[in-house]
Amino acid sequence: MSRRLEGKVAVITGAAGGIGSEMAKLFAAQACRVTVNDVADEAGDRVVRQIREAGGAAVYVHADISSAREVDALFERTAAEFGGLDVLVNNAICSAGDTTIADEEESVFDRTIAVCLKGPFLCTRRALPLMKQRGGGSVITISSVNALFGVGETAYTAAKGGLISMMRLVAAEYGEWKIRSNIICPGTIETANCMEYWSRFPEGFARLKAMYPLGRIGQPREVAEYALFLASGESSFVTGAVHVVDGGLLAGRRFEV
């Protein structure tokens, strides 16, 4: 086992599948003790079991991060189990039914904002005092390329854009306590949910891949590896930054006359 996060404790929200589970398993493989948070209990328990079978340390905590009460319980359990907190990864999302602004249902907008924007606010607010007690920490927030150019769902895009401003402010306000705050903006990543959606639109998926200069979409592990860098001491002078992990999508496309 490599030990880039030895002695560290991390909370990863939305860690039952996709990008979150890859981060949880990778962090644990680097000697980090991990709280796996989600509302998908069976999948969350499976991630913890995989971590423990590989020799790592992890617990699963069911919590809806849009609830302050459940967020409090999440961090109380982490502190009780592992003695503190060094790393928070704000990863959980909710975008079911999200669509263009003219067609958006108010209930869908409210729920998406509650999980994708309010949730990271509640988690970060609860994590910061624990990080102060440890003499520093790293807050890593998963935003999206949706926050940086006009594409995709209304509420999801609004929340992901809001995360950038909020988490850069955290970097400015908490740097004196050696707490770093960074944002990752992934492009399209090959998760189960993503592929289930695009399986209904094979021609659209082909056009999507063609938008990426690398000719493919990303893998969850590629985002997890970047999060590991931001969680580790290797990024000790990196804070307040927006890190785009998008296979060149925002760079543009090759133009041929």
pLDDT tens column, 40-79: 999 999 999 999 999 999 999 999 999 999 999 999 999 9
CATH number of 9-190+220-241: 3.40.50.720
pTM over 0.85: yes
81: left (phi over 0), alpha (psi -120 to 50) or beta: alpha
Length of the chain, in residues: 257
Percent of the chain having pLDDT more than 90? 82
The mean pLDDT value for 127-154 works out to: 95
Residue 244, phi then psi, degrees to nearest 5: -90, 120
Q: What's the per-residue H, E or C state across the chain?
A: CCCCCCCCEEEECCCCCHHHHHHHHHHHHCCCEEEEEECCHHHHHHHHHHHHHCCCEEEEEECCCCCHHHHHHHHHHHHHHHCCCCEEEECCCCCCCCCCHHHCCHHHHHHHHHHHHHHHHHHHHHHHHHHHHHCCEEEEEECCHHHCCCCCCHHHHHHHHHHHHHHHHHHHHHHHHCEEEEEEEECCECCHHHHHHHCCCHHHHHHHHHCCCCCCCECHHHHHHHHHHHHCHHHCCCCCCEEEECCCHHHCCCCCC
Helices 106-113 and 154-174 pack at an angle, to 10 degrees, of 30
Q: What is the separation of C-alpha 232 from the centre of its chain, rounded to a whole number of angstroms?
A: 16
| pLDDT above 80: residue 255 | no
User: What are the tens digits of pLDDT across the range 170-201?
Assistant: 999 999 999 999 999 999 999 888 878 777 87
List the catalytic residue out of 156, 174, 212, 226.
156
Instruction: Give catalytic status of residue 226 as yes or no.
Output: no
> 39-43, 77-81, 124-128, 151-155: which range is least confident on average?
151-155
